[in-house]
Amino acid sequence: MKDMTEGSVTRHLLEMSAFIAVSMLIQTLYLLADLYWVGSLGKEAIAAVGLAGNLMMVVLALTQALGVGTTTLISQAAGQKDQPRAELAFNQSFVLSLLVGVALTVCSFALRDQYCQWLSADAATAGLARSYLLWFIPALMMQFPLVALGSALRATGIMKPTVAIQAFTVLINMVLAPLLIFGIGPFPKLGVAGAALATFISVLIANILMVAYYVRNYHYLRFRLPLLKPQVKTWWAMLRIGLPAGGEFALMAVYIVVVYGIIRDFGAAAQAGFGVGARVMQAVFLPVVAIAFAVAPVVGQNFGGRRGDRVRRSYYSALGITSVTMLLLTIALQFSGETFIRLFSKDTGVIAFGSEYLRIISLNFVAMGIVFTSSSVFQGIGNTLPPLVSSMTRLILFALPAALLSRMPGFQIRYVWYLSVASVLFQACVNLLLLRREFRRKLTFDEPAGLSGQPALP
């Protein structure tokens, strides 16, 4: 376990975010490579994978709920030097992740056909989306235990094993994807389903390797049979913190569904352009997301250790790093957005829609950096409700006007992107005000040691 209640908070942030960035870069390279191979199958295939990938946002919402709850409880326990409490949270998180993953898989298969029909621009896209989800849904289920295991390591400042395992399994994925998509050698030609099957195999291997690491090498947090027995009180302590954070990602999923619904009438090229643009944006967001993921455990340990000064320094340091980084990325995409889209599609319609999306949406990058960073500080403190409220406000400010605009004569998609920029700017301002209030309320530490705004686990 790495103690982050001592030493430079900026150094802790940079060290952790470097490992997280490498991990996310590897994952993004896989996503972009996967998109590249699928792109050769046509715009319908790109649109199908992008549409099916919307389900990933639902999974991100649920895994975020579990991951944030796990990270917060374990990091605060580690900051208080309470190893048994951290170990209990770890075991309960693993059990809960398995149960939620199975439940989501059953629901997803039951609604697969209706989902694809509802959001697809045409029958060909819907058929390809159904084919892709056949293996992509089981792959999503396997994400749940993987996130629980990775979040526990992150909470204790350990990142190297997660990065190493992910690098290895993503390499497997990148090799398998073209073999299964195009049927090279002895492998069957599965098309878009081959990309999903490659993902499932790699995530399954990642889970096996991660469990093996815990069993053989990591001794601060161990699997213990008595602690694996479901404890509802512990689950509630975890979900009380995690659900609002997961709700933020769920609102992002609603945002994407709203966008797909609005651009549906513009055809597969528009859906593909948005899908490619969203993947590119995900790639360039790596630095800010890495910093945000590092903030939560650093703040959590120092909040658990009752170090209010270090909590503030962690926030200001992270905010400065993300703001400068996102400003540079905004400038880059203003001039090179079309180049990124051309890497994945030669269709002129896809390029036009995708490049315009990147050029406009990049105007909110600095604001998004503020949103991600401040939300992660709330996670470390253990109060994730305020950023959920600001996310709900943003969605309302975006969804209702966007739906009305789409019904007006002469409507153009760019109106939706500009509206999104304005709503994110508003959310960033709300987050800053709410966090300022939270610091005044929570960083006084008048309560007895061990509470810190967090109910003790049984």
Residue 264 in any domain: the answer is yes
Which of 97-106, 201-210, 276-285 is predicted with the least confidence, judged by mean pLDDT? 276-285
Average pLDDT value for the chain: 82
Are 41 and 191 a contacting pair, CB within 8 Å? yes
**378 pLDDT more than 70:** yes
First to last CA, the chain: 22
Q: Which has the higher per-residue pLDDT, 23 or 228?
A: 228
Q: Provide the domain count of the chain.
A: 1
Are 98 and 144 a contacting pair, CB within 8 Å? yes
Q: Which has the higher per-residue pLDDT, 35 or 190?
A: 190
Structure tokens at 369: 């950096």
**207 pLDDT more than 80:** yes
Q: Measured on CA atoms in the order 174, 210, 28, 109, is the torsion positive or negative?
A: positive
Q: Measured on CA atoms in the order 164, 168, 174, 180, is the torsion positive or negative?
A: negative
pLDDT at position 434 is 92
- DSSP characters for 393-452? HHHHHHHHHHHHHTTSTT--THHHHHHHHHHHHHHHHHHHHHHHHHHHHHSS--SPTTTT
Give the residue from 332, 252, 312, 255 showing the smallest Cα distance to 445. 312
Residue 4 in any domain: the answer is no
Give the Cα separation of 452 and 72 in Å (integer): 12
In the block, residue with structure tokens 């651009």? 263
Q: Which residues of 319-355 are buried (b: 16+ CB within 10 A; e: fewer)?
A: bebbbebbeebbeebeeebeebbeebbebebbbebbb
Q: Which residues of 375-401 are buried (b: 16+ CB within 10 A; e: fewer)?
A: bbbbbbbbbbebbbebbeebbebbbee
Are 271 and 47 a contacting pair, CB within 8 Å? yes
Residue range 143-169: average pLDDT? 86
Q: Report helix, strand and coil shares of the chain as percent, to nearest 5.
A: 85, 0, 15
Phi, psi of 400 (to 5 degrees): -65, -50
Tens-place pLDDT, residues 94-150: 999 999 999 988 988 888 888 877 767 678 878 888 888 888 889 888 889 998 998
| Domain that residue 88 falls in | 9-442
pLDDT at position 448 is 41
**319 pLDDT more than 80:** yes
pLDDT at position 28 is 65
Residue 2 in any domain: the answer is no
Which of 147-156, 324-333, 334-343, 366-375 is predicted with the least confidence, judged by mean pLDDT? 334-343
Give the Cα separation of 343 and 345 in Å (integer): 6
Structure tokens at 307: 């170090």
pLDDT at position 451 is 37
Phi, psi of 187 (to 5 degrees): -80, 145
Residue range 195-203: average pLDDT? 89
CB burial of residue 216 (10 Å; 0-12, 13-18, 19+): exposed
The gap from C-alpha 341 to its chain's centroid, in whole angstroms, comes to: 22
Which of 309-323, 338-352, 366-380 is predicted with the least confidence, judged by mean pLDDT? 338-352
In the block, residue with structure tokens 């975890």? 238
Residue 438 in any domain: the answer is yes
Which of 50-59, 287-296, 325-334, 449-458 is predicted with the least confidence, judged by mean pLDDT? 449-458
**24 pLDDT more than 70:** no
Residue 456 in any domain: the answer is no
Tens-place pLDDT, residues 405-423: 888 888 888 888 898 899 9
Residue 285 in any domain: the answer is yes
pLDDT at position 1 is 66
Residue range 260-281: average pLDDT? 76
Are 427 and 367 a contacting pair, CB within 8 Å? yes
What whole-number percentage of the chain has pLDDT above 90? 13
Radius of gyration for the alpha carbons in the chain, expressed in angstroms and rounded: 22
Residue 457 in any domain: the answer is no
pLDDT at position 256 is 74
pLDDT at position 457 is 42
Tens-place pLDDT, residues 223-266: 999 999 989 898 998 888 888 877 777 777 777 777 877 777 77
Which residues, other chains included, contact 57 with Cβ-Cβ below 8 Å and sequence gap of 6+?
A: 249, 250, 252, 253, 256
Are 406 and 345 a contacting pair, CB within 8 Å? no
pLDDT at position 54 is 65
Give the amino acid at 174: M
Residue 24 in any domain: the answer is yes
